[in-house]
Structure 1
Amino acid sequence: MKRLVVVGTGPRLYREFMLRRIGGRYDVHLVIGRSAEWEMPYVSGVSVVPGMTADGIVAAVRAVAARGGVDGVMTWAEDHVVDTALAAAAVGLPGPGPDAARACRDKHVTRSALAARGVPQPQSELVADVAEARAVAEKFGYPVVIKPRAGVASQAVALVRDGEELADHFASAHRLPAADLRSPDRSVMIEEYLTGQEIAVDSVVRDGRVLPVFVSHKEMGYAPYFEETGHWTRGDDPLLGDPVITRFLTRVHAAVGYATGATHTELKLTDEGPKLIEINGRLGGDLLSYLCDSASGVDPGLALAAVSCGDAPDLTRTRALCAGIRFAYPPWHETRVEEIAFDESALPPEAGLAVPLVRPGEVVVLPHKDLMEGRVAFATAAAATREELSAALDRALAALRCTWSPA
């Protein structure tokens, strides 16, 4: 059994199923910033690194390698993609490469790398203040997208239609931490707004070869923000085999120099062809990997573990279903939750997970400039068609029983 170091785990609700699967196939050593809890049944060893600093993570992986050897190092945590790449390089194991990991973490570096290779993407410029932001927006033409240079989960990303809205949103984008950036004072990006279908492709990469694993489709809400209110995927999505998209993904990964690991690439299918929104150096969140397994029988976590150990991943599809997740939100901008639970007897047969995300007594705030976490529950389902899936998710969320009041 090969020994695999996993750096960080993330929320149990979203990542336990992957660690459970990986723990059944590999001798897993966990590097984490606290004492292991729910992770213990799936790992053989734990290194606690207070603060999860880059130096501490690299030292922990070196120590594990020195004691008994390591075959691979991996993470699915956004905060640790660069640190994990540094650790893999330090012990001579496959990885994306530190520079490629940084290019995925820093959206401005991504844009610069793609521009140097002529890879299609929206116009984008880095700005330091509102005056610069307005000048760039007027050059591109409204509406434009404002985003933080190193943000995650669409936090502080907004579509703005004029200079007043731009000024209103600038402080939120500028306020987000710009960790590991060389120019933290220039941490806001103004970008051309692209029209067209938006998709995300999760891939594993082995020695520079990009292997698409699944395509996910977003459901969006709470404009002008880009809140992801749901996702769905098909086990036999024709976009997976589209040669135009496959060639585009190869160009994107080559531009940032990504060698080995997993990526979550978001792109718009415009009238001029695919254009990159962003590339992330880890698997997608929001249970996307779980949905992939439900729809196709392919486990992206195991695929990442394989390439991290230098092996070919098993991407054999055993199902061709549609699987999705949909999130529930409160009715008021600030809502106090009094009771919340799913009526299991009302859930449709296609439903999978149905989970409240808040507890009685909590106050929940709808997505706004400084917060993109207004979810109160979610439900997943799998069905034969997209239409059947959507109907099943509707029925599943209708089974959510809540009492609440304006806060």
Structure 2
Amino acid sequence: MARRALILVEGTRSNGLLYVKAAQRLGLYPITLSADPAQYDYLAAERLEAIRVDTDNLDALIQECSRLRATYDIAGITSAEEKVYAAVGKLCRHFDLPGPNPASVERCCDKFVQRQLLAQAGVPIPAYCLATNATDVESSAAEIGLPVILKPAVGVGSCGVRLCRNVDELAEHTTYLLGGKHIWRSSPRILVEEFVQGPQYIPHLMGSEVIGISAADFWPLPHFVYRGTTFPALLTAEEHERIVEVSLSCLRALDLGWGPMCIELRWTKRGPVVIEVNPRLGGGPQPVQLAYGVDLVTEHMKLAIGEEWNLRRRHSHVAAVRSLVPDRDGILDWIDGDRRAAVVPGVAEVKFFVKPNTPIVRKGDYRDSLGYVIAASPSHAQTEAILQHAVELIDWSITPFPIPGRTGTICAGGVGTT
């Protein structure tokens, strides 16, 4: 009898291992297909099978999965990575396996098309224009009114996203996006978007059910690097109801409703305004599991292999995540206190993505995070206190890169701020 396998297309540094472990708990043999398996350190650390394949090439993926079917009983194909999720949907349809609607995912991943569909359905969104050159950007910003946000029409993790508060910042970031520094996955198209202000919330959905809503905040502008999230958010009954209502409107407008999704929105004077709909799990799924006892990764896996899933809450706690972000570029000399922080009562996990002697070059997106701390307790106040205490125990030092033209080495003293 052939061994049951689960195919994972690509992975992520935060969720990839969670998917592998969930597959193993369900009695499946995980196999990762990746253009560069070495980028996922957990694959080597856990001695997991990984196959190098061009994951942007659907024919290559079909060929590799067909080859694997000769040896394994492929129970399902899925991914934690948004940029390959449409391809996952196409693979699932080719092999007659449960999966997302690839056309819906593709429409959702194009932020311009997504906004058009949301606007047509009457979902509240920011004012926006599409630009393909500097002249378009300038005229669009003038039409919307500064400040505006510039972002690639296709992209993830806030890569290339920046708030432009004046004409100089607008010109600078336009040059960055169109001048060859930003890596485009498709033809260059820039979304020029109204800067909507207000508290940020993230509804987490599975299928057509809103599981709960996180509160989120960012490190200082002009970039949008998450500082942390708290689940569930402190909301009034009316606020919760309106956010759920607009979330379900997004699903109908985009023809979504299979598997995990998260929606980024801001609460404004006119209520919830949708910033983005993402056809994937939101950030790290651990807070939902810590707070409600619902393992979204495992439930997604069950859905992908056609088994019955269960989103029933087992308890009601409060979980929070704090991202650890450096305040300078340079060489990471050392990290200290992470082990002390990990044993603080209520701390669920302390994780670093980098090791000492690693060059640190901030990019203004998700890659700036050195790691994170997660804590949980029965109340918001207690969880925040636990998290703050743990974060204060963690230090690091970064030596700035030498300045060209100067002799000797410039030493930093500064300990990283959290």
Give the TM bin, normalised by the shorter chain: 0.7 to 0.9
* Structure 2 partner of 1:389: 383
TM-score using structure 1 length: 0.86
Q: 1:93 aligns with which of 85, 90, 97?
A: 97
More displaced 10-residue stretch of structure 1: 133-142 or 66-75: 66-75
Report the AA paired with residue 339 of structure 2: E
Per-residue deviation at 1:216?
2.1
Report the AA paired with residue 395 of structure 1: H
* Structure 2 partner of 1:164: 168
* Structure 2 partner of 1:193: 195
Evaluate the alpha carbon distance shift between residue 363 and residue 240 of structure 1 in structure 2; reply closer, same or farther with a 3 A threshold: farther
* Distance in structure 1 (CA, Å) of the matches to 2:262 and 2:238: 14
Per-residue deviation at 1:128?
1.2
Per-residue deviation at 1:261?
2.0
Residue 351 (1) aligns with residue 347 (2): yes
* 2:43 and 2:49 in contact (8 A); partners too: no
TM-score using structure 2 length: 0.84
* Distance in structure 2 (CA, Å) of the matches to 1:4 and 1:400: 37
Q: Which secondary structure does the structure 2 equivalent of 1:51 belong to?
A: coil
Q: 2:140 aligns with which of 130, 136, 140?
A: 136
1:229-258 per-residue CA deviation (whole Å, 9 max, x = no partner) reads: 212212997779944333322221222222
Q: 1:291 aligns with which of 287, 293, 300?
A: 287
Residue 212 (1) aligns with residue 216 (2): no
* Structure 1 partner of 2:373: 379
- Structure 1 unmatched runs, 5+: none
* Distance in structure 2 (CA, Å) of the matches to 1:241 and 1:271: 12
* Structure 2 partner of 1:50: 53
Per-residue deviation at 1:293?
0.9
* Structure 2 partner of 1:281: 279
Evaluate the alpha carbon distance shift between residue 24 and residue 153 of structure 1 in structure 2; reply closer, same or farther with a 3 A threshold: same
Evaluate the alpha carbon distance shift between residue 26 and residue 397 of structure 1 in structure 2; reply closer, same or farther with a 3 A threshold: same
More displaced 10-residue stretch of structure 1: 75-84 or 34-43: 34-43
* Equivalent residue pairs, number: 392
* 1:342 and 1:399 in contact (8 A); partners too: yes
* Distance in structure 2 (CA, Å) of the matches to 1:320 and 1:136: 46
Across the aligned residues of Structure 1 and Structure 2, the Cα RMSD in angstroms comes to 3.0
Q: 1:109 aligns with which of 95, 107, 113?
A: 113
Describe how 1:5-404 pairs up with structure 2 within 5 A.
5-11=7-13, 14-33=15-34, 34=37, 38-39=42-43, 48-52=51-55, 53-64=57-68, 70-174=74-178, 175-179=181-185, 181=186, 184-185=187-188, 187-205=189-207, 210-234=208-232, 242-285=240-283, 288-331=284-327, 333-342=328-337, 344-345=339-340, 348-368=344-364, 372-404=366-398
Evaluate the alpha carbon distance shift between residue 51 and residue 117 of structure 1 in structure 2; reply closer, same or farther with a 3 A threshold: same
Evaluate the alpha carbon distance shift between residue 164 and residue 315 of structure 1 in structure 2; reply closer, same or farther with a 3 A threshold: same
* Distance in structure 1 (CA, Å) of the matches to 2:123 and 2:32: 36
Evaluate the alpha carbon distance shift between residue 60 and residue 261 of structure 1 in structure 2; reply closer, same or farther with a 3 A threshold: farther
Per-residue deviation at 1:112?
1.9
Evaluate the alpha carbon distance shift between residue 265 and residue 345 of structure 1 in structure 2; reply closer, same or farther with a 3 A threshold: closer
* Distance in structure 2 (CA, Å) of the matches to 1:315 and 1:199: 21
Per-residue deviation at 1:226?
0.9
Evaluate the alpha carbon distance shift between residue 384 and residue 29 of structure 1 in structure 2; reply closer, same or farther with a 3 A threshold: closer
* Distance in structure 1 (CA, Å) of the matches to 2:157 and 2:237: 24
1:279-313 per-residue CA deviation (whole Å, 9 max, x = no partner) reads: 1121122xx21121111110011121222234442
Evaluate the alpha carbon distance shift between residue 194 and residue 334 of structure 1 in structure 2; reply closer, same or farther with a 3 A threshold: same
* 1:58 and 1:83 in contact (8 A); partners too: no
Per-residue deviation at 1:38?
4.5
Per-residue deviation at 1:326?
1.0
- Structure 2 unmatched runs, 5+: 402-418
Per-residue deviation at 1:342?
1.9
* Distance in structure 1 (CA, Å) of the matches to 2:353 and 2:50: 29
Evaluate the alpha carbon distance shift between residue 246 and residue 310 of structure 1 in structure 2; reply closer, same or farther with a 3 A threshold: farther
* Distance in structure 2 (CA, Å) of the matches to 1:141 and 1:135: 10
Report the AA paired with residue 150 of structure 1: V
Per-residue deviation at 1:190?
0.2
* 1:340 and 1:356 in contact (8 A); partners too: no
Per-residue deviation at 1:148?
1.0
Evaluate the alpha carbon distance shift between residue 48 and residue 3 of structure 1 in structure 2; reply closer, same or farther with a 3 A threshold: closer
Q: Which secondary structure does the structure 1 equivalent of 2:100 belong to?
A: coil
1:33-53 per-residue CA deviation (whole Å, 9 max, x = no partner) reads: 24898459999x957242223
* Distance in structure 2 (CA, Å) of the matches to 1:29 and 1:345: 33
Report the AA paired with residue 327 of structure 1: S
Report the AA paired with residue 336 of structure 1: I
* 1:149 and 1:178 in contact (8 A); partners too: no
More displaced 10-residue stretch of structure 1: 133-142 or 258-267: 258-267
Evaluate the alpha carbon distance shift between residue 380 and residue 193 of structure 1 in structure 2; reply closer, same or farther with a 3 A threshold: same
Report the AA paired with residue 183 of structure 2: P
Q: Which secondary structure does the structure 2 equivalent of 1:373 belong to?
A: helix
* 1:235 and 1:319 in contact (8 A); partners too: no
1:7-42 per-residue CA deviation (whole Å, 9 max, x = no partner) reads: 22322x543233212321142442412489845999
* Distance in structure 1 (CA, Å) of the matches to 2:97 and 2:5: 12
